[in-house]
Structure 1
């Protein structure tokens, strides 16, 4: 094979496998794919369904062209179809494979093979690295910002590059190339072009994992995070509870002198406020907690909707700036909340002193 030594490639399968950290069968499949592509380029047709088999013992290769058996006498595409009378007894609709021994390729076909090998090895290596990160999904990792683009930030994680999309960034946060940054491994998203490692700082899970680092009582089950509602860069509400009598869950998360919650705020920025509230299995009570710091008079719950009654001076507190407080409380509880004004109690009408005196005289005269 001109420009591409098959015997040398056969002997290199194990070496490439160890060097790239890929299984030998993956490397062999890549080389066979390259041989098939080169043969199709030089000897065949772009529509052909071609596979190649490389014998690692002697370095020889054969290609097989798959064709569908069709009725005799019909017009057909010789690249993908074959008439029944030429199919060696195969039934109509079955697949016949024609074999061709690989001998030599020209310069263009050899270049095609080399390009396929380089590209496929790069893709396989990339996929192998990303697969190693699958066990790290929903964990925190430190990286370095390598590039800032209008719609995403690229983060160098060492062996791989994480993509932080616009929706996973913290609003108002400034990203500078070369800066160290902590991110959450959010997901590995596979598509037609390959796979992307998605990271996040704007997700609720990012907040949760920051607290897991700061509050050891989460690991031993003393306290638990039940729900998080977040608008990154603005405000976060967290519902927590304790499984141990006498342990204050809110105080545990806040920490002595606020040291624990402050450590989280130092990571996400002081612009984002954090409300930590008590979770309750009593939904009415949970809604009251979720709407704090507002003082609630009454909650009327019906399925997934609730009317929450507040006094006039508490209405703006319950709703929050641009509806933020009630919006986050709804997300936290999973209940659609409507803030209503409670009716003010009717005051008794006061009589004047003269009326009282006349009333007393009338009562005494009757006696």
Structure 2
């Protein structure tokens, strides 16, 4: 048994990193518990394992008495003095036992203790190895897919990329290399479970921190962030150094930095803009190249009404409203976009609008009135139905106009 124990101790120490002292303590406690439930029930045992050679020694502790009533826990004083000279009544002596007398159950229990210790160590090791990696990017190999979840081998442990944390359109096969963000370490009945993400905005943020040195050292700061995984990401940046262009730093020479990130995201579009505390400036910056014609802010409801020209409407809203949604998240305001209708400055059109609004006239009749010089409410002074008939209006039209003008006045 000593050789078996020694081989277990050496294996655990070299391959699993579990110290001999920890393994010995687990084995001793397991054997003692099993023995006391079996052949050594009622006895008090002492068990030791030599860490160098794996040799197991066991003793039973017996109380010295002059009249033995329970031989499992007591020993007569004369017998006690035979192997422990000078021992006195009431004291305890250690009587060595043959380890084999502890029984087969004790040996099996020792084996179970080793396995249990190994499982517990694996759980603790996973947590200890990865607790400081939460929020960082990890690289692994795709192992398998179960339902919508992808299981990834990180070398020291297996992690899971849930379906909800995957990017739409991305497909991975067993053996593929993959980079993800370690989102959290969740406690489960099976032990700690490593949860990964590629869909979270935190993943893209961390990619920028890794790729852009100015973000890592704090010179450039990401002030606002919005993402629709697989489609588009918008980030707003500032610089603490007036000599450093925050957008240029993120883009890199000839776009090298942002291209690296876009490749990692399989072509996801990334918009990098300057950050402004003023929401009006932010919305103008975020919607480029679309140029708002009119911006109306409602501070109370935190809403922005944006009016853009017809040719810019599709750009501002984006595919399936994507650009508008991202801009809204980026600035933190509800965004409403509608088509801009310019107010005409053509004198004839203005005059027609005035007559229509003032007297409720039909636009066609108002246009004909303007054509004969009646281009304002004041111009109706002294005009009668006969004058309008002479100007080409029918009797009914003239009567209707005079009636409308008279009613409004």
Pair member with larger Rg: 2
Q: TM-score surpassing 0.5?
A: yes
1:195 positional shift: 0.5
Aligned to 1:363: none
Residue 212 of structure 1, aligned match among 209, 214, 222? 209
Paired with 1:330 and 1:32, the residues of 2 have a C-alpha distance of: 64
- Pick from 309, 317, 322 the counterpart of residue 319 of structure 1: 317
Question: After superposition, where does 1:303-314 map in structure 2 within 5 Å?
Answer: 305-311=302-308, 313=310, 314=312
Superimposed CA distance per residue, residues 314-339 of structure 1 (whole angstroms, 9 cap, x where no aligned partner): 44433322222222223323x24131
| Corresponding residue of 1:268 | 265
Alignment CA distance shift 1:32-1:165 (3 Å): farther
Do the aligned partners of 1:326 and 1:337 also contact (CA within 8 Å) in 2? no
Write the mapping of 1:28-39 to structure 2, written as runs, cut at 5 A. Answer: 30-31=26-27, 34-35=30-31, 38=34
Q: Which residue of 2 aligns with 1:65?
A: none
- The residue matched to 2:122 in structure 1 has which SS? helix
User: In the TM superposition, what whole-angstrom CA distance separates every residue of 1:216-259 from its partner, at most 9, and x where no partner exists?
Assistant: 22233331212322221121111111222243322221223222
CA distance in 2, matches of 1:301, 1:29: 70
Q: Is residue 153 from structure 1 mapped to residue 150 from structure 2 by the alignment?
A: yes
Q: Which residue pairs with 2:190 in the alignment? A: 193
Cα contact 1:318–1:339 (8 A) shared by 2 = no
Change (3 A) 1:288 1:108: farther
Match of 2:231 among 231, 234, 249: 234
Asked if structure 1 preserves the Cα contact closer than 8 Å seen for 2:313 and 2:339, the reply is: no
Answer yes or no: is the 8 Å Cα contact 2:210–2:216 preserved in 1: no
The alpha-carbon distance between structure 1 residues 135 and 345, as it changes in their structure 2 partners (threshold 3 A), is same
**Match for residue 252 of structure 2?**
255
CA distance in 2, matches of 1:235, 1:40: 67
Give 1:75-114 correspondences, 5 Å limit.
107=104, 110-114=107-111
Structure 2 alignment gaps of length 5 or more: 40-44, 51-55, 61-96, 349-369, 375-409
TM-score by length of 1: 0.68
Are the equivalent residues in 2 in contact too, given 1:30–1:121 (CA < 8 A)? no
Return the offset for 1:141. Answer: 2.8
**In 2, Cα distance between equivalents of 1:24 and 1:290:** 61
Distance 1:105 1:256, change over 3 A: same
Is 1:347 aligned to residue 349 of structure 2? no
- If asked which structure has higher relative contact order (CA below 8 Å, sep 6+), I would say 1
In the alignment, the residues of structure 2 paired with residue 113 and residue 267 of structure 1 have an alpha-carbon distance, to the nearest angstrom, of: 50
Distance 1:37 1:202 in 2: 50
Query: Alpha-carbon deviation of 1:166?
Result: 1.3
Kindly state the Cα deviation for residue 135 of structure 1 after the two structures are TM-superposed.
Answer: 1.7
What SS does the corresponding residue of 1:344 show, helix, strand or coil? coil
Q: Is the 8 A contact 2:309 2:340 kept in 1?
A: no
Match of 2:286 in 1: 290
1:171 aligned onto 2:152:
no
Q: Is the 8 A contact 1:229 1:236 kept in 2?
A: yes
CA distance in 2, matches of 1:53, 1:178: 52
Distance 1:340 1:330, change over 3 A: closer
Quick check: 288-297 or 140-149, which moved more?
288-297
Query: Which secondary structure does the structure 2 equivalent of 1:136 belong to?
Result: coil
- TM-superposed CA distance for 1:167, in Å, is 2.0
How big is the shift at 1:284?
A: 3.0
**Secondary structure at 1:288 match in 2:** helix
**2:219 matched residue in structure 1:** 222
The alignment of Structure 1 onto Structure 2 pairs a total of residues equal to: 306
SS of 2:210's partner is: helix
In structure 1, the partner of 2:297 is 300
Which ranges of structure 1 fall in alignment gaps of 5 or more residues?
44-51, 63-101, 357-367
Q: Provide the rounded CA distance (Å) in 2 between the counterparts of 1:342 and 1:40.
A: 86
2:274 pairs with one of 274, 278, 295: 278
Distance between the aligned counterparts of 2:170 and 2:193, measured in 1?
Answer: 23
Determine which structure has the larger helix proportion and give its number: 2
